[in-house]
Each structure stands twice: as C-alpha cells, then as structure tokens.
Structure 1
Amino acid sequence: MEQLSVLPAIVASGEHFTCTPTRVWDGDGPVWCAEGSKIRLAGIAAREMDGTCSPGHPCPAASAIEARDYLVTLLGGAVGTTETGHIAVNGPRLSCRSDGSGKGKRTAAWCVLPNGKELNCSMVASGKALKWERYWRGHKC
C-alpha cells in the first residue's frame, strides 16, 4: 500500500500510518506529525498542562510537565519550543494504528517506536500516564 505524503485530519480506525513527530503538547498528545496528522495517544490519560485532570478521566500522580517531558524523551528529546509553547522534537518515525477520532482533528492511535516499544505502553509503564480502561479495551503491551 502506498503512503500518501499528507494524511487526512483523522486517519480511519484500523488504518496503519507513519508519524514523524515534530511537536508535542502534553503527555497524551497531541503529537504533531510531519505527515500531516495529529495524534492523541489511545487508551491513556495524562494531566492537562494546567495541572488538572478532566472530570471522569484517570488522574495520574505525575505532573503534566513530567508526563510531557517523558514523552518528549521517548521521542528523541526537545530541539526547542514553539511560540505557542509546544515542545519541538525531531522524533523517530513511528509506526501507528488508528483507533479513530481522538476528538477534534486528532487521530487516537497506538504507536510503536523504531526499537519495537509501544509508545502508549511506555507512558503507562513510566507512571506518567494511566490506562484509561474505557479506551484501553484490553490492549496488550
């Protein structure tokens, strides 16, 4: 299957796609991809950047900054910040599978790093984010 150079705003559920991260907002996304999509990491929850947890969402003990910075580390480290406060990264190519809409113009996705580790599972294993059982749906790491 040929990869398009620019993906639609939301990649259809079940579709596989590539994401080369360029910037990150918080510990569960969005992660902006050079290919055009924005990812919300499926099945997990991290604190919002203002330190709160949305009602009904799992609420990890880790701060929003700890979660964001850990995700940035997994994506190769920060290369700067944008004028809007996003962390710029020059991340490795991720192999992702869409879980459908992540609300707004984001694709909820399960992504694998080049070393074979699942990004979503790595965030949960770190304690910086929690499984969100409603969306985890029995996923195996």
Structure 2
Amino acid sequence: MAVAALAPSPGEGASDISCSSIFVVDGDTFRCDGKRIRLQGIDAPELDGHCRPGRQCTPGDPIASTDNLEGLMARGTTRCNQTDTDRYGRIVARCTSKGVDLSCEQVRSGHAVLRYAPISC
C-alpha cells in the first residue's frame, strides 16, 4: 500500500492523525508519512526473524495477521489518536478505519492478543 499524508483532521487536536493510505509493516504496526504507528494494547505474531532471543512472542501466523490489518485499513480512511510513544520511538495509538477499532478487531479475529496496555473493546 502507498504511504499516506499525516495530518490532524480539521477541528481535531494535535494527537489526532488521519491517514488516507498506509503501509502495513505487520499485524500491529504501520507507517503513515514515514512515521511508525503501533496499535495500542495488542501484540501480533512477529514476522520471521523478528522475535528477539529470550522474548516470548505471540503465537500465530504473522502473514495472516499482517494481511488482516491491511484489509481492515483498506476499507477507508484510518484515523488515530496518539496515546503514547514507545521505547522504539513509535507513536502508540488507538486507530479506527470506517469506525472499526483496529486493535479490538485484530484481537476479535484472532490475529493478535491483548498486551501492554488495558483497552476496552
């Protein structure tokens, strides 16, 4: 998918991000205008070679997780509200596409697990 423009939507705060198109990195991370955004409250299976030694990574199919997130985001404009910045410098955010909460839908569909921060779905 193409990289999107990253800008606050009219009338919204500085932490609100609107992406018209995106590049999905994996099942819980995507890029928008060169900025990495990490979905809040979930952990998706790691792509091959991305699970650091000694870390217990989320089980499952990383390709299916990535494809599912890409499909969710292809439905329409993705909007995010930044909640934090992680230790890797990624924006941590709650994001929706066509009104669907991406973190909650990744968990509901079995493509991620709840982890790191409590979220209400």
Tell me, yes or no, whether TM beats 0.5.
yes
- TM-score, normalised to structure 2, is 0.75
- Identify the residue that residue 107 of structure 2 maps to in structure 1: 124
Identity %: 31
Q: How many correspondences in the alignment?
A: 109
* Distance in 2 between residues matched to 1:52 and 1:105, nearest whole Å: 17
Shift in CA distance, 38/21, structure 1 to aligned 2, threshold 3 Å: farther
Q: Tell me if structure 2 keeps the 8 A contact 1:51–1:64.
A: no
Once the two structures are superposed, what CA deviation does each residue of 1:47-83 show, in whole Å capped at 9, x if it has no partner? 11117655255x23x211111111111122xxxxxxx
**Equivalent runs, 1:27-106 vs 2, <5 Å:** 27-29=27-29, 31-34=30-33, 36-50=34-48, 53=51, 55-56=55-56, 59-60=58-59, 62-76=60-74, 92-106=76-90
Match of 1:22 in 2: 22
Check 1:6–1:27 CA distance in 2 against 1; reply closer, same or farther (3 A cut): closer
Change (3 A) 1:105 1:19: farther
TM-score normalised according to structure 1 size? 0.66
C-alpha distance 74-51 of structure 1, shift in aligned 2 (>3 A): farther
Shift of 1:93: 1.7
CA-based RMSD: 2.4
Give the Cα–Cα distance (whole angstroms) in 1 for the partners of residues 35 and 76 of structure 2.
15
In structure 2, stretches of 5+ residues that fail to align are 8-13
